[in-house]
């Protein structure tokens, strides 16, 4: 990447249904690091973040709190902005989808797609997930009603809608995905390619069942419709640069985006819907869409009911924002799920930062004043220690190209730490105290010069991750980190001779956890029933006599089950993904036998099998030993 390039990168705009959590902080810290590094290289960079504020979920959340949607959105959006400002996130623009300029841009895009023949009116009938603000195809439903992404029940809606011809762009999107390879990490790209290859259906892009959204352009003259939240949200990447306004200077300068950073749960919207929208309005597609994983806490999924949701401000207040930044970026490979453990955070601070980095700086400060009145010289570094110097230079030479721009920031930091190892090993190997004892002062002075230059090499590369910390290191070493010193040090220039400045230890050892202990809340029992109510349910042992696939269904099997009655019961069961029909014949199962019959796929189902599902899959609940069919379960 040359210095004359521009670099436009974005976070998702965060949905204002709740306050910022550790996942939001992780995304934003990654983007902030990339932006800072690009600027340090002298690249003209524009960094966008913001909030997504329309949709049914916001309308309902506001109503519960007795607020208007705008009042509620104002409140939560302000919390995001305040946190990023407190974390000193170096964004260039904080966009809100309630901004008038954004609304105008979305309406322009909608009208352009409409005039290009890519939008038409029809009726939508099917499953809709309010939590994800997305429609779910029947084939994707879990247990015929649950959203595959969040697991919550979907709603069946039927309403007039405008549709976008997503199917029209299937082949072009596939070609882009396969030839340009824009998705990181690669495993996520393969998932998206398979999704597109399965076939894209036209996308419903308006709603009439709620009002909190962007109205259609006045030229279309259909005021009861509002724009589907994902079409609204995705266009923030263009409207932030002036799309739809009279001044599109920034748009011409920075588009296409070099990097969209997203969570893995919204990759489909960015890697399928967004490129199709851009193709429709004639815009170049983004260069990279990078999807990161989710965070758990101490191995458990975070939830409000457990009381273990991580507030990033609490972590930063306890351990320092820069220590927190380092941990988040170093702990987990990009794309993988991560686990936040306070013990792991403390270990990173004490070992990586304290022992490796901080201790090396402390050692050089101590020796510089003990032997040379604080004076450091680079005069004879290459004469006495060329191997160590060249090894360190080789490590950092292709570091950004190999790892940083490919979003392998954990590996970038891991490799950078090898430079610190070279420094610590050099002290232990050459023993400056013995060099001084043997009157080899010139060699000892050169050793301290080597260590100073290794620390400078680490500091300029670590600056994007820990700007204030590395600023203190640079001050102690007599230089300032900016694009000129970055370029000089990366080109192999050694520090000028200087008097080292004493500074307090950067990473005092942490002896015990500093955050409040998480008290897991016990879930109060809900939906309690009496013993009499329980016995209204009739559970019986049944034997499966017939098991057949239902050809039009991906999930259902047709079973005939003997319950000791005059004839077998027909039961339609959603277990096709877990059992082959031949595996079920002549096996025993537990059946709810007094369930009201219901039609599924046009066939009557006269009962329900009992089963259990967790992260390891689904299993039928069966008797330990064969029992007489029709035996009651008590």
Q: What does DSSP assign to residue 502?
A: P
Concatenating the DSSP letter of every residue in 521-532 gives PPPPP-S---HH
pLDDT at 3: 43
- pLDDT tier at 511, thresholds 50, 70, 90: very high
Spell out the domains of the chain, with CATH numbers in brackets.
321-499 (1.10.730.10), 531-620 (2.40.50.140)
pLDDT at 1: 52
Of 197-201, 242-246, 408-412, 622-626, the one with minimum mean pLDDT is: 622-626
CB 368: neighbour CB atoms within 10 A?
Answer: 23
- pLDDT tier at 282, thresholds 50, 70, 90: very high
Cβ 136 vs Cβ 127: under 8 Å? yes
Cβ 263 vs Cβ 294: under 8 Å? yes
Cβ 617 vs Cβ 578: under 8 Å? yes
Give the whole-angstrom CA distance, residue 464 versus residue 619. Answer: 49
- Average pLDDT (506-533) is 74
Which residue ranges make up the annotated binding site for Zn(2+)? 129, 132, 147, 150
User: 72: which residues sit within 8 A by CB, 6+ positions away?
Assistant: 16, 58, 61, 62, 65
Give the whole-angstrom CA distance, residue 506 versus residue 561. Answer: 71
Q: Residue 274 pLDDT > 70, yes or no?
A: yes
Give the whole-angstrom CA distance, residue 146 versus residue 128. Answer: 10
Query: Which residue, 605, 552, 607, is CA-closest to 576?
Result: 552
Of 300-304, 408-412, 614-618, 621-625, the one with minimum mean pLDDT is: 614-618
pLDDT at 2: 46
Q: What does DSSP assign to residue 555?
A: S
Convert the pLDDT of each residue in 59-79 to its tens digit: 999 999 999 999 999 999 999
Which residue ranges make up the annotated binding site? 129, 132, 147, 150
Q: How many helices (H) and strands (E) does the chain have?
A: 25, 25
- pLDDT tier at 422, thresholds 50, 70, 90: very high
Cα dihedral: 277, 279, 281, 284 (round 10) = 110
Cβ 197 vs Cβ 273: under 8 Å? no
Q: What does DSSP assign to residue 557?
A: E
Q: Residue 363 pLDDT > 90, yes or no?
A: yes
Cβ 32 vs Cβ 47: under 8 Å? yes
Give the whole-angstrom CA distance, residue 549 versus residue 42. Answer: 62
Give the whole-angstrom CA distance, residue 357 versus residue 344. Answer: 17
Q: Report strand pairing: 289-292 vs 259-263.
A: parallel
Beta bridge mates, 549: 557
Convert the pLDDT of each residue in 465-493 to its tens digit: 999 999 999 999 999 999 999 999 999 99
Of 240-249, 445-454, 482-491, 572-581, the one with minimum mean pLDDT is: 572-581
Query: Which residue, 597, 550, 546, 541, is CA-closest to 577?
Result: 550
- Average pLDDT (599-603) is 83
Q: What does DSSP assign to residue 74?
A: H
User: 428: which residues sit within 8 A by CB, 6+ positions away?
Assistant: none
- Average pLDDT (549-569) is 90
Give the whole-angstrom CA distance, residue 108 versus residue 277. Answer: 12
């Amino acid at each position: 990447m040359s210095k004359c390039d521009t670099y436009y990168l974005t976070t998702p705009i965060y949905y204002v249904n709740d306050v910022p959590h550790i996942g939001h902080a992780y995304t934003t810290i990654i983007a902030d690091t990339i932006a800072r590094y690009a600027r340090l290289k002298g690249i003209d960079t524009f960094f966008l973040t913001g909030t997504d504020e329309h949709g049914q979920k916001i309308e309902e959340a506001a109503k519960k709190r007795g607020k208007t949607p705008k009042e509620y959105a104002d409140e939560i959006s302000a919390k995001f902005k305040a946190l990023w400002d407190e974390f000193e996130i170096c964004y260039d623009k904080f966009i809100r989808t309630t901004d008038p300029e954004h609304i105008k841009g979305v309406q322009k895009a909608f009208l352009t797609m409409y005039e290009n023949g890519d939008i038409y009116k029809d009726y939508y009938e099917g499953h809709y997930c309010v939590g994800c603000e997305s429609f779910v195809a029947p084939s994707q439903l879990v247990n015929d009603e649950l959203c595959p992404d969040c697991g919550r029940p979907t709603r069946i809606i039927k309403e007039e809608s405008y549709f976008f011809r997503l199917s029209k762009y299937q082949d072009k999107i596939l070609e882009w995905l396969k030839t340009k390879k824009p998705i990181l990490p690669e495993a996520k790209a393969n998932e998206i390619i398979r999704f597109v290859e399965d076939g894209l259906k036209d996308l419903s892009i308006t709603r009439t069942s709620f009002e909190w959204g962007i109205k259609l352009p006045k030229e279309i003259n259909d005021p009861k419709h509002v724009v589907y939240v994902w079409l609204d949200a995705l266009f923030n990447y263009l409207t932030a640069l002036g799309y739809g306004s009279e001044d599109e200077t920034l748009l011409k300068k920075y588009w296409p985006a070099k990097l969209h950073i997203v969570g893995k749960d919204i990759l489909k919207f960015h890697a399928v819907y967004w490129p199709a929208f851009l193709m429709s309005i004639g815009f170049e597609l983004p260069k990279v869409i990078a999807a990161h994983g989710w965070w758990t806490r101490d191995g458990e999924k975070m939830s409000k009911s457990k009381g273990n949701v991580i507030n990033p401000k609490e972590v930063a207040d306890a351990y320092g924002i820069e220590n927190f930044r380092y941990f988040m970026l170093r702990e987990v490979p990009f794309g993988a799920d991560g686990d936040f453990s306070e013990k792991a955070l403390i270990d990173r601070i004490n070992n990586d930062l304290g022992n490796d980095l901080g201790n090396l700086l402390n050692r050089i400060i101590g020796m510089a004043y003990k032997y040379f009145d604080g004076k450091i010289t680079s005069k004879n570094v290459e004469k006495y220690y060329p191997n160590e110097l060249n090894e360190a230079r080789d490590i950092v030479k292709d570091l950004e190209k190999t790892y940083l721009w490919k979003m392998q920031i954990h590996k970038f930091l891991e490799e950078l730490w090898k430079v610190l190892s070279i420094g610590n090993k050099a002290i232990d190997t050459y023993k400056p105290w013995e060099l001084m004892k043997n009157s080899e002062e010139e060699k000892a002075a050169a050793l301290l010069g080597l260590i100073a230059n290794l620390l400078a090499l680490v500091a300029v590369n670590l600056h994007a991750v820990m700007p204030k910390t590395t600023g203190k290191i640079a001050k102690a070493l007599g230089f300032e980190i900016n694009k000129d010193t970055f370029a000089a040090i990366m080109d192999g220039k050694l520090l000028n001779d200087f008097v080292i400045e004493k500074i307090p230890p950067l990473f005092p050892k942490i002896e015990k956890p500093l955050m409040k202990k998480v008290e897991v809340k016990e879930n109060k029992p809900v939906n309690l029933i009496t013993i009499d109510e329980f016995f209204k349910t009739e559970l019986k042992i049944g034997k499966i006599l017939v098991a057949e696939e239902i050809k039009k269904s991906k999930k259902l099997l047709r079973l005939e089950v003997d319950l000791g009655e005059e004839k077998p019961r027909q039961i339609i069961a959603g277990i096709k993904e877990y059992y082959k029909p031949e595996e079920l014949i002549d096996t025993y199962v537990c059946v709810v036998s007094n369930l009201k019959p219901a039609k599924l796929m046009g066939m009557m189902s006269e009962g329900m099998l009992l089963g259990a599902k967790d992260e390891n899959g689904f299993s039928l609940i069966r008797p330990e030993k064969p029992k007489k069919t029709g035996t009651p379960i008590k």
